[in-house]
Every structure is written in structure tokens, then in C-alpha cells.
Amino acid sequence: MKITEIRVYQIDLPLVEGRYSWGDGKFVEVFDCTVVELVTDSGSSGWGEVCPLGPFYLPAFGRGARAAIAELSPHLIGLDATETGVVNLVMDQALLGHPYAKSAIDMACWDLLGKRAGMPVCDLMGGRHGEAVALYRAISQESPEAMAAKIAKYRDEGYTKFQLKVGGDAKDDIARIKATRALLDRDEVLVADANTGWLMHDAARVVDAVSDLDVYIEQPCKTYEESLTIRRRTARPFVLDENIDGVHMLMRALSDGAMDVINLKISKVGGLTKAMQIRDLCVSFGVAMTIEDSWGGDIITAAISHLAHSTPERFRFSSTDFNSYVTVDTAHGGPKRQTGFISAANEPGLGVTSDVTLLGQPVAVYS
Ligand code: MG
């Protein structure tokens, strides 16, 4: 399956809710999504996708993804797409960093590997664990009352796990956590995700004020060192996300006992190949995971479903069905949420295909 052509598509993904707001006053209304089609000499195409959470969440942005793919493409033409180790090595030698852009290529390679093997990607990643993957719903930052109302709505749709977007004013965030926890049953999960938005004194006030509540604290502060100080002064279960951007930070954080759970985003770490390495280390070290991506449409939701479904159930803290947050499809056959769960497809590869009827004409073609 030699790569003969790389087609790059750009598609805007508006939100069902109109706006997604999180810590430190950040928000996005339309996501800039890039879809990659790897055309091969076998006649099969592989599909990948990358969709940064705006240009100010991680060091990643839509036009950056397309520029990096342009830089990488001459190195990829002629490679066997199913040799994921070779493709990753070539990408890392050709371009330092830019893991999010490489993620879309790597995802498309896994799609082709599955098609060649005649197996779903989740079977190639270790096999399917359990019936379905439990999802969380992200609750965009609003007033405590509005967020509580959103939780009631999404609970009616079958979700049992909720991630509150906090990271704003500490007093308001305490009210957000208290108002929403009061609505939930004991077996429902609440995470307060500050997305790096608190200074240490803000975070200290919040964790003290919610010390008697069943709530997880996620990524309170900007740096790893700041977040570690908060980890050491609270007994609440603790999640690191933005700071765990690869295997080296994971090893450091494991050594420091810096978290109980990590948020593993496929594009943050450079694709499914590298995410699987981190996933397997987390399983060995007893760390549960939220398995997801920064954002995305049907192709990313499919990739999430395969990585998560091939992860032992005890280690699956939660995942995300991004294709239910946006108003347009990026592919046919994306996994659809059933109550609060998704499942990996049984078809070979990722189980999605796309075309110009959804994506429009490619914005770039490399051959
Ligand atoms: Mg997070």
C-alpha cells in the first residue's frame, strides 16, 4: 500500500450549542478541521483528521496542520502506509514537533493497515474490551445555574459522566461545582477541568472549598510544577491533561505521583501509534485514562472509539463523541452515540469513509 497521493481537505465544524467556552476566557464557535486522504497504489484510501481546539489551547492550529502536512508530504510519497513505525520515524526525522499534524497522517495509516489486514483497528490494537465505551459530556463554561441545566439535559440523553469547564473566577467555580454535584447520583462522575486557567492561589481556594465533595480536579494550572503543588495539597482525585504531551512527561509525572488519571488526546501526542504506547504504559502503571482528542468530527470520533475500545475497561475513565457536538459530518459511518456510549466499528480499518460531497474539493494535493 504505497502512498501515491496525499489529498488535504479543510472543513469548518460549527457547534450545536453555538459556542464552547472554557478556562481563562477562551472560546471557539467554529472549528477549523483538516481531513487527510492517503491515496495508495492498492486502490484503497486511508482517512485521518486533526481539529485543534482553536489556536490557543495547545501549540496547534488549523493552518499550521496544513502547512506541516505540506512540509511532510514529499517525504511520505512512496512509503508503505501500513508500516506505521517507518512512517512515524520518517515524519519525526523530516519535521521536529508538530505532533498534531502528524496525527492525521498516522491515523490514515492505521485505517489502511486495518483495510489491508481485513480487521478493525481496535482488533489490531489489542482487541475489543467490553460492549461499549462510556462517554463524558463537556459542559461549556457558563453561570452555575446554566451549567446545572445543561447537566440535567445531557443526563436525560444517557450520559453519566460530566466534565465542567471551570478555570475562571474561583468563587464562581466553587459555585459551579457545588451546584452541579448536588444534582448527581453517587455513581455519576463529575470532573472540574480548569484547563490551566487557575493561578495556584485560585486553585487552592477551590480544592479546599470542595474538599467534602466527590469531584475530580483536572489540570488546575498552566505549568506542570504549579499543578503538582496543588496535587500535593488536595486529596481529591487528580487528572493531568495539557502537561502530559508525550511519553517523557508521562514518565516524569508517574515518578512524581503527580496524578491518578491522565487525559490522553490522540493529536496532542502525535497520533494513534504514540497514543497506544502511552496507553499501554498507563495500563502497566495503574493510571486510568480519558481517551479522546482535542476536538474533531466523525474520523476522530472513530479513531477514539478504536483506541478506547481496545483499552481494558477499568482503565477507561471516559471518552468523547465529538461528532455529536458539531453540526456537520466529516465522514460516512462515524460511530453514533447510544445513550452515553459508543462502540468501535466492525468494518476493516477505522470504519469511516469520506468524499467531496462532505468535504468539498481538496485544498491541496501532493503526489
Ligand atoms: Mg482536559
Number of domains the chain is built from: 2
175 and 76 share a domain? no
Per residue in 152-161, pLDDT (tens digit) is 999 999 999 9
How many whole angstroms separate alpha carbon 244 and alpha carbon 257?
Answer: 13
Q: Where are the beta strands (DSSP E) in 270-329?
A: 288-292, 316-319
- Strand, coil or helix: what is 323? helix
Catalytic, 165? Answer yes
- How many whole angstroms from 144 Cα to the centroid of ligand 1? 19
For residue 296, pLDDT beyond 90:
yes
In a domain, 309, yes or no: yes
pLDDT of residue 234: 98
Question: Does 191 share its domain with 328?
Answer: yes
Q: Does a structural domain hold residue 170?
A: yes
348 belongs to a structural domain: no
Q: Could you tell me the pLDDT band of residue 8, with boundaries at 50, 70 and 90?
A: very high
Report CA(348)–ligand 1 centroid distance (Å): 31
Residue 123 to residue 334: CA distance in whole angstroms: 17
User: Contact, 36 vs 354, CB < 8 A?
Assistant: no
| Residue 60 sits in the same domain as residue 153 | no
Same-domain status, 154 and 264: yes
Element of type H or E holding 48: strand 45-50
Same-domain check for residues 96 and 138: no
**Start-end of H helices in the chain:** 62-76, 84-94, 99-117, 121-124, 144-156, 170-181, 200-209, 224-231, 247-256, 266-269, 272-285, 298-309, 356-359
Tell me what pLDDT residue 260 has.
98
- 323 in Cβ contact with 334 (< 8 Å): yes
Same domain, 111 and 132: no
350 in any annotated domain? no
Residue range 221-244: average pLDDT?
Answer: 98
Q: Do 283 and 194 share a structural domain?
A: yes
The answer to whether residues 222 and 312 belong to one domain is yes
- Centre of ligand 1 to C-alpha 243, Å, is 10
Alpha-carbon gap, residue 172 to 170, rounded angstroms: 5
Per mean pLDDT, which range of 17-26, 99-108, 218-227 is the poorest?
17-26
Find the 48 Cα to ligand 1 centroid distance in Å: 22
In a domain, 209, yes or no: yes
Give the neighbor-by-neighbor strand order of the sheet with 3-14: 45-50, 30-40, 3-14, 364-366
C-alpha cell at 288: 486510568
Q: pLDDT per residue over 318-367, tens digit each?
A: 999 999 999 999 999 999 999 999 999 999 999 999 999 999 999 999 99
Residue at 351 is within a domain: no
pLDDT(174) > 90: yes
To the nearest 10 degrees (0 to 180), the angle between helices 170-181 and 200-209 is 30
Say if residue 33 is in the same domain as residue 102. yes
Q: Residue 126: left if φ>0, alpha if ψ -120 to 50, beta else—which one? A: left
Is 222 marked active-site? Answer: no
91 and 143 housed in the same domain? no
Q: How far does residue 174's CA lie from ligand 1's centre (Å)?
A: 18
The reply to whether 208 and 68 lie within a common domain is: no
Let me know whether 91 and 131 are in one domain.
no
The confidence band for 10, taking pLDDT boundaries of 50, 70 and 90, is very high
Q: Is residue 28 part of a domain?
A: yes
How far apart (Å, rounded) are the C-alpha atoms in residues 151 and 153?
5
Ligand 1 centroid to residue 88 C-alpha, Å:
26
CA distance 306 to 345: 8
Q: What is the CATH number of the domain that holds 232?
A: 3.20.20.120
| CATH code assigned at 61 | 3.30.390.10
Catalytic residue among 102, 115, 165, 268: 165
Written as nine digits, the cell of 358 is 462532505
Which pLDDT score is estimated for 89? Answer: 98
Domain containing 65 equals: 3-118+356-366
Q: Is the pLDDT of residue 24 over 90?
A: no
Give the range among 16-25, 48-57, 257-266 with minimum mean pLDDT.
16-25
pLDDT at 257: 98
Residues 61-97 pLDDT 10s: 999 999 999 999 999 999 999 999 999 999 999 999 9
Percent of the chain with pLDDT over 70: 100
Residue 281's pLDDT band (boundaries 50, 70, 90)? very high
Could you tell me the pLDDT band of residue 238, with boundaries at 50, 70 and 90? very high
Q: Which of 102, 265, 268, 274 is catalytic?
A: 265
Q: Residue 347: inside a domain, yes or no?
A: no
Predicted local confidence at residue 178, as pLDDT: 97
In this structure, is the dihedral angle defined by the CA atoms of residues 262, 265, 271 and 276, taken in order, positive or negative? positive
